[in-house]
Structure formats: C-alpha cells, structure tokens
Amino acid sequence: MTDITSQTDAALAAIAAAASLEALEAQRLETLGKKGWVSLALKTLGGMSPQERAAAAPAIQSARASIAAALDAKKAALEAAALEEQLARETIDLTLPAPAVPKGSVHPVSQVMDELAEIFADLGFAVATGPEIEDDWHNFTALNMDETHPARAMHDTFYFPDKTADGKDVLLRTHTSPVQIRAMLEQGAPIRIIAPGRVYRSDSDATHTPMFHQVEGLVVDKDIHLGHLKWTLETFFKAFFEREDIVLRLRPSYFPFTEPSVEVDVGYATEGGRRVVGGHGDAPGHAWMELGGSGMVNARVLEFAGLDPKQWQGFAFGLGIDRIAMLKYGMNDLRAFFDGDPRWLMHYGFSPFDQPTLSAGVGARA
Amino acid sequence: MKFSLTWLKDYLETDATLAEICDALNAIGLEVEGVEDPAERLAGFRVAHVLTAARHPDADKLQVLTVDAGDGAPLQVVCGAPNARAGMKGVLGLPGATVPASGMVLKKSAIRGIESNGMMCSSRELELGDDHDGIIELPEDAPVGTDFAVYHGSDPVIEVAVTPNRPDCMGVYGIARDLAAKGLGTLKPISMPAFAASGACPVEIRTDDPEGCPAFYGRVVKGVKNGRSPDWLQARLKSAGQRPISLLVDLTNYLMLGFGRPAHVYDLAKLSGAVVARRAQEGEEVMALNGKTYTLDAEMVVIADERQVHDIAGIMGGEDSGVSETTTDVLLEIAYFDPARIGATGRKLGLSSDARTRFERGVDPAFLDQGLDLLTGLIVELAGGKPSEVIRAGSPPSQPKVLAFDPGLTLRLGGVAVPDAEQQRILESLGFSVASDWRVTCPLRRHDIEGPADLVEEVVRIHGLDKVASVTLPRAEGVARPTATPLQKLERGLRRAAAASGLNEAVTWSFLPVWAAEHFAADDQPLWVLANPISEDMKAMRPSLLPGLLMAAKRNADRGAASSRLFEIGRRYFRRSDGLSDERPTLGIVLAGEKTPRGWQSGKARAFDAYDAKALALQLLEAAGAPIANLMVMGEAGAQFHPGQSATLRLGPKMVLARFGMVHPATLKAFDMDGPVAAIELFLDAIPPKKNAVFARPGFTPPALQAVTRDFAFLVPAALAAGDLVRAVQGADKAFITGVRVFDVFAGQGVPEGKKSIALEVTLQPGEASFKDADLKAIAEKVVAAAAKLGGELRG
C-alpha cells in the first residue's frame, strides 16, 4: 500500500515537473505504458484471490486514475504553452498596408442618364435612341426647319461631305430632337419617351464643347397641353434634385419644332460661390437660370412624323445633361468631363453600387 | 437688339418703370439680355457753371476755378484743361462720384497746396467720346445743377434677344406694340413728317426678277445737304450700338432700327440709266460698303444700273454709289425681297448685315409706302431737298393669311382659360383682326403665323405663361412598368460591372484625328470624316473606342499618373451598305501603366499582361450574359495588337464578341506612349440576347456524392494550344468530367525538345453511385486517349 502511494506521489511529482511533451511521454511510459509499473501492478490483480484483489485493486486503480488525469492535464498545459509561444512568434505588423484593390467609378454623365431613366420610367416614359450621324431631314426638315430657315444657321452644324442615297446632307445631329421624329415614325402615338445622348455643335469655348449630352422628352397623346408640360418638368426636377422648393419660370420663346415654344428657367441661390437650385428666382439672393427649351409639338412636325395633328397633340422638351449634372453634383468645368483623368473620374464619379432607385432616392450623396 | 428707354417712349406712352418694362419684355418672349443704366454710371456728375478762373500759384498748367454746381456756395476746383475759362458751362464730378473711364473715385483733395472739390471732366473721362484735349463744353442754356445724366439724355439702354421668328420686333416700334398689347401703355401712331412731293421720279426703276424682288419702290430727292445728324438721332443710334455716320445714312439706320425697315440711299450722281432689280450675272463683282469685293452668281439678286451692280440686294450696298458729304441728289430705295433667297445669298457670300437679318426673316410687306414716306419726310425735314413722286415697280405680297380660330384651343393646347373677349383684345392689339365668326386675319408682317397654334401662342404669351397651372400627366394604373430595352439593360449592367472591377469610366470625344482613326480603321470600312471639323484633332468619327482611351491614358501618363484603367461605353461609327450610319455599341478598355505598384509584399511594380485583359474580357462578357463556356479563343485581334499576345473571343468562326491583348508596339509608338499597355474591346451588338428568358431557373439539386479529382500530366507538342487539350479532355467523358484545370505548364529540363508538359486536374462527379476503381480506370483511359489524339502522351 505504502509502496504504491509513494510511487504514485513520485510519479505525480515527475509529471508536474515535466518540461516538455517528450519528458511527459517518458513519464507516461514509465507509469501507464505497457511495461509501466501501474500497468504491471494491474496485471498482478489477475493472479490474486478475490479477497486479495478486493483489498489491492482500489489502490492500484486509484493510482492509475490520478496519474492518467495528471498526464492529460499536463499535456494540455504544455500544448497550450507551446501554441502560445508559436503564436507569439507569428506576430506580424498590421500597420503595414494590405494589397490595394483598385476602385472603379461610373462617369457622372452615365449616372445622371440612369437617374433620368429611373425618374421618367416612373412617369411612364421609355428611353429611345437614334443615330448620331443623321441626315438633314431628320435633324432639320422634319423639325420644321427647311433649308432656308435662319435657325439652321444658328445650329453650328458639323457636316460630312457624304450624301444619303436620296441626296440628303449627312451631319452630326445638333440635338436629340431627331429621335422624336424617328420614335413617332416607328411607334406612332400615343407615345412617351426620353432620348438621352451625344449631340454635336461646332462650338468650343470655356463653357461649350463640340460634343455634349442632351435629353429629349416627348409626350404625344390626346388632350396634352402646356400645363402637363409644366407639371412634368416640375415633377422631374423635384425628383432629380430631391427638393420640394423647385420653382420653374416659363418664358415664351421660339423653336421651329414647337408652337407655342417655352423657355424653362429655374430659380436658384448662390451659396458659397456655387449655384444651388431651389426657391423663387425673384426672391432676395436668388436668380433665374435657363435650363432648356420646350413647347407643344408643332403641328407640322407631327405631320412629318406621320401623325394627324387634328387627332394628336403633345409636348417636347430638351435639357442639357452635362449642365444639370454640374448643377446637381458641383462640377464647374465642362471640358474635364471628356478628359479621362482618373483623379477627376474618381472624385466626381460614382460607385458602381450607386445604382439610382426610386426607393433609395435617385441621387447619390457625397 | 438694343435701344434706349427714351427711344421706346417715342412710340409707347407709358408710366411703367424700367424694371416693369424689363419684366414685361421677359414675360412676352423678348428676353432681356442686359440693361445698362448710365444714370447709375454718371451719378454724381452735374452741369456746372465756371464763375472764375485764375492761374494756380504754384503750377503753370493748372487753373483754380470757382464753380457753381447748383448748391448755392461756389466750389473751388483745380483744373488742368486748357479750355477751362470763366463763363463756360461744363460737367463737374463731385467728391464720391466714380469716373467711368478710370473707375477712380473722386474725393476732396489738395493739388499743389490748393483745395479742390471735384473734377471738371472731358468726354473721354465720361466715356462719351474720344475727346481728351479739354473739358466738355456745354451750351449756354444748359441748366446749372442738373444731373448730367438727365441733361445729356443718356438714358437706360435695354438689350433684348429677338427670336428669329419675330422680325417685326427687330425695330423699336414693334417692341412697343408688343408691350402695349401686354398692357404696359399705349402705342402711339407713327408721326409722319409732312412734305410735298412734286414731279415724276426722274429715274427709271424696274424689277426684272419679280420672284427674288417682288417690289422695288423709289423716289428721288434733289438738293439735299448731307452732314452731321442732330443730337436726338445720334443718341438713339448710339443707344442701339450704331455709330453715327452721316445724316442720310443715319436716317436709313433709324428707319431700320426704329421700324425694322431696311432702306438704301444712292448718290444719284453716281448712277446712270435705269436702276433695276435683277439676278446677278455669273461671276459679276461688286465692292460692298465694307470695302470687300464679292463675286456673285445667278442665284443672287442685285440692284444695278446700266453700268454696274450697286447693291447686293437686301444685304449690303455698294461702295461706288454710297452717299458722301458732297451728295446733293439721292435715290431712295425701299424694296421687298424673297426672304429665302436673301438667306441663301448671305450664307453663300458669308456676309452678315442688319439688313440681311431682317430681310431673310421677313420685313413687313405693308410698310413700303409708309416707310418710304417716313424716310423722305425726315430727309426733307433735316437735310432739305425736293422730293419727287414715288415710282413703284412690282408689288409686295398683299394677301393676308386668314385662319379659322377656335378660342377654345387656347385652353386645350395652352392649358389656360382666357375669356374670348380678352383673346380678341390681345390679338387685335397685336394687329390681327378678328371677325365675329373667329376668322382671324393676320398682319402681313407676322410671317411666323402659320396656324391656330401660333395664335394660341400669341394669346398665351401676352396673357402670361405664369398663369398656366401645372396639371398632372395622367399615369398608368399601378406600379410603373419596366421600359428599358435589352441593350439599355446590357449597357447599364456592364457599366457597373466594369466599374466594380476597378475601372474608371471615361467619356471621350466621338471624333479623332484622322491618323488615329485610320490607325484603327478596318480596311473595308471608309471612315466618316467631317467636312468642317472644329480642329484637325476632331475630324474623323471613331471606328474603335481604343484610340480615344489610349490618348486619355497618354495624357494621364504625361501628368505623372502611375496607371490608367479606363473604360468607355459608346458607339463606333461605320457605314451600312446603303451608305447610312451604322453605329455599334461597344465597350472599350485600356489598361496602361502599373497593375500593382511596387510594394513591401509584392516587390517590383507589375505591368498589365494579356491574361489580365483576358480575365476582364471574360468577366464582363459573363456579366453581359454571353455564353462564355462556349467561347472560342481565336486569333486576328487586329493589327493594332501584339500578334503573339492577343486574341478574339468568338461564338463560331465569324461571330467575334470581343478582342483583347497587348497593344502592338507600333501602335504605342504612333500614339507616343510607353508600354506595355493592354486593351480590350467588347462588341455589344454581337452578344446574343438571351432567348425566352424566364424568371424561373432550371431545376437543380447539388449532387449528394462527393466529386473526386485525378491529376494527369501530358507531354504535348510545344505548339499545341492548352485550350485545345483542355477541350479534348473535357469532352472525353461528358457524363462524369465536370472540370478540367491546368495547374502546370512546363518546358525545359526533363522535357524533350519540341515538347511541353501540361498538367491537368480533372474533376469527376459521380452520379447516383460512387465510382468503383474500374469506373475511374475507364475514365482515365478515355482522358489519355483524348490527349493522344492531339499528340499528347501521359508522363510516367
């Protein structure tokens, strides 16, 4: 008895003192291994009489259990210490930079075109397109500007030396209005479309580029009048700028393709050197700014587009996309739009995940 | 069009303020572009009387004046002008006034020790003329103490933009008429100076081209004395920005600017024989009043005598028969020309003039006789002379347009209810006459009125567009329907996919320098080249999106940018077989500079390579919905690409969806760029739309049994494309092989010359039952056999 007790105590002390897993394993072999004294002691039980076994077994079993528990505990402790040491060795400097992931961007013009499509889709407008290399019939004649019309000369048109098979001049469209004609010829009426796209004028200075972007709007139906035009533009601008205090001023003007023709001004204030749309243009600190042209589609244009003006009437408008983009998002240099400078594109461009939606608001805040 | 408030008030009886007039002009469609109010500019300058003048004690060239400026006590003023003297009247600027010419603010000062309480001004200092030799001398009756702005009659000048449909408002009288209709006052009748005409016109006048010149009226005035115009006339012309020239010329300008009616005065002494409106002869020349000689053609109308052309009809008079200081006898011309022909002639000659602007838009056909009488009367009154009777050749259009108008249309089209009586009042105040059955007769001067919609515009613009209320556009029931076309959805999705891949969207010009366009042009596709480009750099429409992006990348590199990853979605411009435009939607990408900068982990900076381009091309094609599993990698990316490091992605041999690879060094050289540069072009029009796409996906349950992988290494001919081996192995057992991955490619030591080793990891997906050894062996044999067909042997 005493023998086992003292042997057990010695073993437990050795286990506690083991400094490594190897030393611990040596202790295990010495005690619980096949030839270990605990195992050998257990084997002696087989040769004992039941009385002797009953007397000897508890001490041996208890020695085995306590040594096994001590071995397990020591092993866990040694492993934990080893892991801790390993992890300490694996420490890295996380102030070092991680690999950079390049950040892409969507151009403001595209972003605003997506916004336009989203807002006008809610009002039932589809998006129509047409060629940029146009003939003068679609760009001028069908829009009630015959060859001698003085307004033609005001368009600063880029021409190609080519002619169409039927002898028409070929040019770069000076506005998106020819898409009106094409859409009406293709789809008839009633029709609601917007037509955003590139347009070209032979004009270049600080605020004009020979290529820019316009959006055309067209509604032809029965009983459409100037009041609907006004509502549509107001509703659009309120949604686009996400403000309720948009005030529009309509002024009589002249476009050959509309009658009556209306120039659209919006009230704005100058804040911190920037134009901020909103408020009445005649209010203190406010002024009016021209946004675009519009009017009721000229009866002749409807005829050219194959519609009976006695049956159909409607309105059309045209807005500068670059201009309303600048107003909303604060760019001040139109030329930079077309430069492809990544610094500018990343500053004024949009995250791919700024997809305009009505539920989140079509605009993307800085 | 510019005019002074005084001039407007010559024709409009009104108490309205300047601000009210400007608001009304804007409201009726005569947009105010600017208002210049000299009363503000000349504030603090007064008519003053010089009482005494004495030599400055310390300066030879200065005098000390005492000046009465109407304030009671005379002011002491030091003045350097040689003409300053006691008794004269001039203009004194008081302390606080700003000198218009210099912007200097006057203040009380001491000049060489003598106090000076203001400045006596020269014409130049007040920007009233060039004279700076002395101070302004005013007439003796100039009222002392009056604000000089008031005395001088330099009143506010309004500049309005007159739209091209309103030539009737290209004269102050027409503007007054519109304002009167708006309720701003009463239009005065034109005051016609009386004169007595006697004797037939001694000059024969004809129109030999009744189509180009339907009417040519004339009259001779003999014994006139040309000279300087009176101040009232000069002031009016100056307010319109017109330099006074001589009385006779100024009076024709007055008629044009005041009444929108161009006219011409010939020096009778320089004419010989009949004066005729006719077509020019081909190649005929005339020196115009601007001193330039123009060569005419047979489409142009001229006024000529028996010797030569004297006038490019309706555009500009000739130098040879213009009036001068010595002119005594004149022929007055008032004509009506075909507007379209005037426009065509002006465009052909590249010659603009105030007369052309009016004639090509259409002058008032009913204002020939009255205009001629007004001009005659003014000449007789101011220049003297004896006028003959009028001689008339031809006649102007006289058939007025009559429109059946329904006043209800104003509400239906204009969206505003205007009582019938008010509509009638508006139309009549603009010169229309309205019959009881609403047949509306249009004044001849209103060439712009074509139909009832134009009458609605007249009513609405005068009534006030601000009275048009917003009315909700009727909308369809329920949630808005989707409207985007498949191509629009494709472009929107691709744009955001490209940006999400780290690319910056650019918008570059549609036009290129010809060399750059030619560099990227296909042999069988002639370029679209502009006839009138704005510069040589913007001349040819792009046949590819890459040159514009390369040029942008070059600009960025020149600015020191380490890299450009640009993309653009736009059109390439080609020709259809019928010659019309064929514009193809395209996505272009240029990857230039560093893909990754040098870094503590990655070491040296890394450039983009062709596999970067391939990865992007496939990723974006997949985003575009292209069946990328079926794509073939083939050659012929184009001469602009590195021949060994570029490829096309095709669905079938002819259908090219994309090209990608490294840009050819020769192309980089042409664009003056350093390489390497990778580029990609996706041809969006070639991407097949999804057929019968529905929302529900095909049924699918992930396989219950685990897939197994087997590795194979083959020795293959060095020229074999890895893609061919992969495709062959993939097809060796279509039932079980679900993936083939190249995990090693090696040539060199241990690999025979002319061979390379390609190692593949083949994924096998069991179906209902697990693979047995025999199954795997059979599949492996099929794989080896498939490779063998391409000359591949399994490595031991």
- Window 273-292 of A: residues touching B by CB (8 A cutoff) are none
A85, A121: one domain: no
What are the pLDDT digits (tens) for B98-152?
A: 888 888 898 988 888 888 988 999 888 887 777 778 898 888 888 888 888 878 7
How far apart are alpha carbons B658 and B678 in whole angstroms? Answer: 14
Tell me what the pLDDT averaged over chain A comes to: 92
Residue of B nearest to A193 (CA): B483
Question: Can you list the pairs that A21-28 forms with residues at least 24 positions away whose Cβ atoms lie under 8 Å?
Answer: A21/A75, A21/A78, A21/A79, A21/A82, A24/A71, A24/A74, A24/A75, A24/A78, A27/A71, A28/A71
A17, A76: one domain: yes
For residue A259, tell me if it sits in a domain. Answer: yes
Flag whether residue A137 sits within 8 Å of chain B, measured between CB atoms. Answer: no
A65, A116: one domain: no
Q: What ipTM did this prediction achieve? A: 0.90
Confidence band of B154 (pLDDT split at 50, 70, 90): low
Question: How many angstroms separate the CA of residue A39 from the nearest CA in chain B?
Answer: 45
Flag whether residue A171 sits within 8 Å of chain B, measured between CB atoms. Answer: no
B407, B427: one domain: yes
For residue A102, tell me if it sits in a domain. Answer: no
Structure tokens at A114: 């997506």
Considering CB atoms only, which of A259, A260, A342 is closest to B504? A342
B419, B533: one domain: no
A82, A113: one domain: no
For residue A357, tell me if it sits in a domain. Answer: no
B656, B517: one domain: yes
- Window 70-89 of A: residues touching B by CB (8 A cutoff) are none
A156, A79: one domain: no
Read off the CATH number of the domain in which B119 is found: 2.40.50.140
Considering CB atoms only, which of B343, B451, B508 is closest to A338? B508
What are the pLDDT digits (tens) for B73-110?
A: 888 999 888 898 888 999 999 898 888 888 889 898 88
Read off the CATH number of the domain in which B563 is found: 3.30.930.10
Domain boundary among B651, B686, B721: B686
What are the pLDDT digits (tens) for B689-748?
A: 877 788 998 999 999 999 999 999 999 999 999 999 999 999 999 889 999 999 999 998
For residue B254, tell me if it sits in a domain. Answer: yes
Q: Would you say A139 and A168 are in contact if contact means Cβ atoms under 8 Å apart?
A: no
Residue of B nearest to A102 (CA): B502
A136, A282: one domain: yes
Percentage of chain A surpassing pLDDT 90? Answer: 69
Mutate to test the interface with A, among B495, B567, B671 (most CBs of A within 10 A): B495
A280, A168: one domain: yes
How far apart are alpha carbons B1 and B174 in whole angstroms? Answer: 12
What are the pLDDT digits (tens) for A27-77?
A: 889 888 888 888 888 888 888 888 888 888 888 888 888 988 988 999 999
How far from A225 is each of A220, A290, B468, CA to CA, in Å? 10, 21, 10
Identify the pLDDT of residue A1.
Answer: 46
Read off the CATH number of the domain in which B260 is found: 3.50.40.10
Identify the pLDDT of residue B581.
Answer: 92
A161 Cβ contact list (under 8 Å, min separation 6): B529, B531
- Window 16-55 of A: residues touching B by CB (8 A cutoff) are none
Flag whether residue A68 sits within 8 Å of chain B, measured between CB atoms. Answer: no
Residue of B nearest to A211 (CA): B509
Counted domains in chain A: 2
For residue B194, tell me if it sits in a domain. Answer: no
Counted domains in chain B: 6
B286, B253: one domain: yes
B14, B33: one domain: yes
Secondary structure of residue A5 in the 3-state scheme: helix
Q: Which of B123, B67, B127, B78 is nearest to B101 (CA)?
A: B127
B170, B265: one domain: no
B46, B29: one domain: no
B52, B25: one domain: no
B256, B385: one domain: yes
Q: Is the pLDDT of residue A196 over 90?
A: yes
Residue of A nearest to B165 (CA): A254
How far apart are alpha carbons B534 and B352 in whole angstroms? Answer: 21
For residue B698, tell me if it sits in a domain. Answer: no
Q: Which of B6, B5, B9 is nearest to B19 (CA)?
A: B5
Residue of B nearest to A347 (CA): B504
How far apart are alpha carbons A6 and A13 in whole angstroms? Answer: 11
What are the pLDDT digits (tens) for B425-437?
A: 999 999 999 999 9
Q: Would you say B583 and A133 are in contact if contact means Cβ atoms under 8 Å apart?
A: yes
Residue of B nearest to A309 (CA): B453
What are the pLDDT digits (tens) for A312-357?
A: 999 999 999 999 999 999 998 999 999 999 999 999 999 999 999 9
Secondary structure in 3-state letters for B376-397: HHHHHHHHCCEECCCEEEECCC
- Window 723-752 of B: residues touching A by CB (8 A cutoff) are none
For residue B200, tell me if it sits in a domain. Answer: no
Q: How far apart are the first and last CA of chain B?
A: 94
A54, A118: one domain: no
Q: Is the pLDDT of residue A10 over 90?
A: no
What are the pLDDT digits (tens) for A127-173?
A: 999 999 999 999 999 999 988 776 777 778 999 999 988 899 999 99
For residue B111, tell me if it sits in a domain. Answer: yes
What are the pLDDT digits (tens) for B495-524?
A: 999 999 999 999 999 999 999 999 999 877
B343, B442: one domain: no
For residue A57, tell me if it sits in a domain. Answer: yes
Question: How many angstroms separate the CA of residue B362 from the nearest CA in chain A?
Answer: 11
| pTM assigned to the model | 0.86
Q: What is the DSSP letter of A190?
A: S
B512, B389: one domain: no
B235, B323: one domain: yes
Question: How many angstroms separate the CA of residue A198 from the nearest CA in chain B?
Answer: 9
A209, A327: one domain: yes
Confidence band of B153 (pLDDT split at 50, 70, 90): low
Q: Is the pLDDT of residue A96 over 90?
A: yes
Domain holding A41, by residue range, is: 2-89
Flag whether residue A132 sits within 8 Å of chain B, measured between CB atoms. Answer: yes
Read off the CATH number of the domain in which A295 is found: 3.30.930.10
A251, A287: one domain: yes
* Beta-carbon separation of B531 and A160 below 8 A: yes
- Window 509-528 of B: residues touching A by CB (8 A cutoff) are 509-511, 528
A11, A130: one domain: no
Percentage of chain B surpassing pLDDT 90? Answer: 74
* Beta-carbon separation of A253 and B29 below 8 A: yes
Question: How many angstroms separate the CA of residue A298 from the nearest CA in chain B?
Answer: 8
Question: How many angstroms separate the CA of residue A87 from the nearest CA in chain B?
Answer: 21
For residue B667, tell me if it sits in a domain. Answer: yes
Confidence band of A3 (pLDDT split at 50, 70, 90): confident
Identify the pLDDT of residue B525.
Answer: 82
Domain holding B421, by residue range, is: 402-463
A223, A290: one domain: yes
Mutate to test the interface with A, among B163, B455, B483, B608 (most CBs of A within 10 A): B483
How far apart are alpha carbons B479 and A122 in whole angstroms? Answer: 8
Identify the pLDDT of residue A146.
Answer: 84
For residue B696, tell me if it sits in a domain. Answer: no
How far apart are alpha carbons B201 and B310 in whole angstroms? Answer: 19
What are the pLDDT digits (tens) for A235-255?
A: 999 999 999 999 999 999 999
For residue B476, tell me if it sits in a domain. Answer: no
What are the pLDDT digits (tens) for B356-405?
A: 999 999 999 999 999 999 999 999 999 999 999 999 999 999 999 999 99
Read off the CATH number of the domain in which B779 is found: 3.30.70.380
